[in-house]
C-alpha cells in the first residue's frame, strides 16, 4: 500500500451562510408601498465585509417620494457581526491631528447657531469632532454602537457610551447633536430625528452629513461605473438634498446651512435647528 493511502484529506470548510436582510415592505421614509428595484451593488470588497452578509445589495426607489434605499436592513445578530470590527481610521484618536482642521471648520459653523452647551456626537468614529468641539468650550459626549469604540473614547477622557440614539432618556440635555454620516446607517432615519428632537434643548441644532445622491459628482461617478456608495456595506439609504430637507422639516427641524463636506467623497453637510 502506498504512503499516500494514509494521508487524511483536509475537509472543505463549510461556507458561512448569508443571513437575509429584514425586508422593507414600504418606503422607510414616507411609508408608501409603491417601491421598485433601482439597481444592484456589490459590497463584498468593502473593508469590513463579513460573509454573513450577502455580497449583492439590492437598491430600491420609492415612486412617491423618490427616496433610494436598500431592500432591507440587518438584524441585530448581523449588526453585531458587522460591528465586531472597525476601520482603523475610525478608532478613537486615529489621525486626529489631520482630522482636527476639518472638524474645526464644522465647529466654527455650528457655533453661529448654538455657541455653547453639551455636544452629543452619534457614531463619533475617531472622536475628532468631539475633541475639537471641546476646544470651543462645549461639553463633549459620544455615542456609538461599537463597544470597543466607546471604551476607546472613554479612555481618552471623553464621556462615551455604547447605545442606540433612540434609547436615550435625557430630554433637553443637548445644545448640539451631530449625526455625521449616521442617518444613512439607520434602518428608519425618521426615528433618529424624533430622538434628536426630544434630546435637544429648545434652540438646539443638529449637524448632519452624508453622501449626496443627485449631485453632479454622483452622476459622473455613476457614468464611469466607479461610484463606491452602491456597495457601501453599512448604508441603507442614499439621500438627495431635497429629500433630506423634507425629512428634517417633517420631524421638526428648520434647515439653516448647507455645505459640501470635506469628510468623505461626494458628501453634503446640513445644520438644522429644532423648532
DSSP string, 192-245: HHHHHHHHEEEEEEEEEEEEBTTSHHHHHHHHTT--GGGG-TT--EEB-HHHHH
pTM reported for the whole predicted model: 0.91
pLDDT at 15: 59
Averaged pLDDT, 79-91: 82
Quickly state the pLDDT bin for 209 (edges 50, 70, 90). Answer: very high
CA distance 267 to 106: 14
Round to whole Å and give the CA distance between 85 and 231: 18
**Taking 60 as the threshold, does the pLDDT of residue 163 lie above it?**
yes
- pLDDT of 205 strictly over 80: yes
The residues near 89 (Cβ < 8 Å, ≥ 6 apart) are: 95, 125, 126
Average pLDDT, stretch 134-148? 95
Spatial separation of the C-alpha atoms in residues 206 and 265, rounded to whole Å: 21
Least confident of 1-15, 65-79, 111-125: 1-15
Return the CA Rg of the chain.
21
Going by pLDDT thresholds of 50, 70 and 90, the confidence category of residue 9 is very low
Task: State how far the Cα of 97 lies from the Cα of 178, in Å rounded to an integer.
Answer: 20
Residue of 214, 211, 206, 213 whose CA lies nearest to 270: 206
* Averaged pLDDT for residues 8-19: 61
Rounded average pLDDT over 45-49: 91
All three cell numbers of 63, joined, read 415612486
Q: What is the pLDDT of residue 89?
A: 76
Task: Look at residue 11 in the predicted model and tell me its pLDDT.
Answer: 54
Which residue's C-alpha cell is 433610494? 68
- For the chain, domains (ranges, CATH) are 14-82 (no CATH), 88-219+235-274 (3.40.50.150)
- 127 burial class (0-12, 13-18, 19+ CB within 10 angstroms)? buried
pLDDT at 35: 98
pLDDT of residue 253: 98
pLDDT score, position 83:
83
pLDDT at 136: 98
Quick one: pLDDT at residue 94? 84
Percent of the chain with pLDDT over 70: 94
Q: With beta carbons less than 8 A apart as the criterion, state whether 264 and 184 touch.
A: no
pLDDT of 93: 84
How far apart are the C-alpha atoms of 242 and 110, rounded to whole Å? 21
Amino acid at each position: 500500500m502506498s504512503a499516500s493511502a494514509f494521508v487524511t484529506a483536509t475537509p472543505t470548510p463549510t461556507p458561512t451562510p448569508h443571513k437575509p436582510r429584514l425586508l422593507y415592505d414600504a418606503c422607510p421614509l414616507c411609508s408608501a408601498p409603491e417601491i421598485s428595484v433601482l439597481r444592484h451593488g456589490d459590497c463584498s470588497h468593502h473593508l469590513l465585509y463579513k460573509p454573513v452578509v450577502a455580497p449583492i445589495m439590492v437598491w430600491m426607489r420609492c415612486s412617491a417620494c423618490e427616496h433610494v434605499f436598500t431592500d432591507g436592513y440587518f438584524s441585530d445578530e448581523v449588526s453585531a457581526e458587522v460591528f465586531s470590527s472597525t476601520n482603523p481610521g475610525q478608532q478613537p484618536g486615529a489621525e486626529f491631528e489631520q482630522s482636527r482642521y476639518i472638524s474645526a471648520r464644522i465647529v466654527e459653523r455650528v457655533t453661529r447657531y448654538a455657541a455653547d452647551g453639551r455636544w452629543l456626537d452619534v457614531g463619533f468614529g475617531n472622536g475628532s469632532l468631539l475633541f475639537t468641539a471641546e476646544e470651543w468650550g462645549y461639553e463633549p459626549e459620544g455615542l456609538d454602537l461599537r463597544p470597543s469604540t466607546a471604551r476607546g473614547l472613554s479612555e481618552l477622557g471623553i464621556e462615551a457610551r455604547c447605545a442606540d440614539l433612540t434609547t436615550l432618556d435625557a430630554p433637553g440635555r443637548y445644545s448640539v447633536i451631530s449625526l455625521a454620516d449616521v442617518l444613512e446607517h439607520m434602518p428608519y432615519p425618521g426615528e433618529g430625528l424624533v430622538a434628536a428632537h426630544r434630546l435637544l434643548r429648545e434652540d438646539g441644532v443638529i449637524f448632519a452629513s452624508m453622501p449626496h445622491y443627485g449631485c453632479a459628482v454622483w452622476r459622473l461617478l455613476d457614468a464611469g461605473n466607479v461610484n463606491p456608495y452602491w456597495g457601501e456595506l453599512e448604508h441603507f439609504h442614499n439621500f438627495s438634498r431635497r429629500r433630506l430637507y423634507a425629512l428634517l422639516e417633517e420631524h421638526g427641524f428648520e434647515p439653516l446651512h448647507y455645505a459640501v463636506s470635506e469628510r468623505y467623497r461626494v458628501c453634503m453637510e446640513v445644520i438644522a435647528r429644532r423648532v
